[in-house]
């Protein structure tokens, strides 16, 4: 998956920004890394926004990638626990859908 890493500090993100929000001087450069990671935290969504009401309840997890110091917010295909190994299933309309390994 594509991430954006700062060329002057350790900041990394899955979303592109004009300049680094951490050091404010660095430029973000594209890097390809494995989407595999570990569940850092998660929350179950019971009351969903209208566009997701038909799939509620569902789980949103914050995933720490294995290969980069970057966390990804993703929708899970089922329940997870902190520490679970997960991998990218697909990207749907800009949203990351992850699945347990
Ligand atoms: Zn920076």
pLDDT at 18: 85
CATH code for the domain defined by 35-101: 2.40.50
Query: pTM of the prediction?
Result: 0.87
Q: How far apart are CA 100 and CA 17, in angstroms?
A: 29
pLDDT level of residue 62 (50, 70, 90 thresholds): very high
Q: What is the DSSP secondary-structure string of 13-80?
A: ESS--SS-TTTSS--EEEEE----EEEEEEEEESS--GGGGGG-SEEEEEEEESSSS-EEEEEESS--
pLDDT band at 72 (very low <50, low <70, confident <90, very high): very high
The Å distance, Cα 12 to ligand 1 centre, comes to 8
* 14-54 per-position pLDDT tens digit: 988 889 999 999 999 999 999 999 999 999 999 998 988 89
CA distance 101 to 81: 12
Note whether 61 and 41 are within 8 A (CB).
Answer: yes
Predicted pLDDT at 16: 87
93 confidence band (pLDDT: 50, 70, 90): confident
Per-chain mean pLDDT for the chain:
94
- Nearest-angstrom CA–CA distance, 28 and 22: 11
Neighbours of ion ligand 1 (CB under 5 A): 6, 9, 11, 20, 22-23, 26
């Amino acid at each position: 998956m594509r991430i954006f890493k700062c060329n002057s500090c350790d900041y990394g993100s899955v979303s592109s920004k004009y300049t680094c929000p951490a050091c404010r001087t660095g430029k973000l450069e594209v890097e390809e890394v494995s989407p595999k990671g570990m569940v850092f935290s998660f929350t179950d969504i019971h009351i969903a926004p209208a566009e997701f009401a038909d799939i509620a309840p569902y789980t949103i997890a914050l995933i720490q990638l294995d290969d980069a110091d970057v966390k990804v917010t993703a929708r899970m295909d089922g329940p997870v626990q902190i520490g679970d190994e997960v991998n990218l299933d697909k990207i749907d309309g800009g949203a990351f859908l992850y699945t347990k390994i």
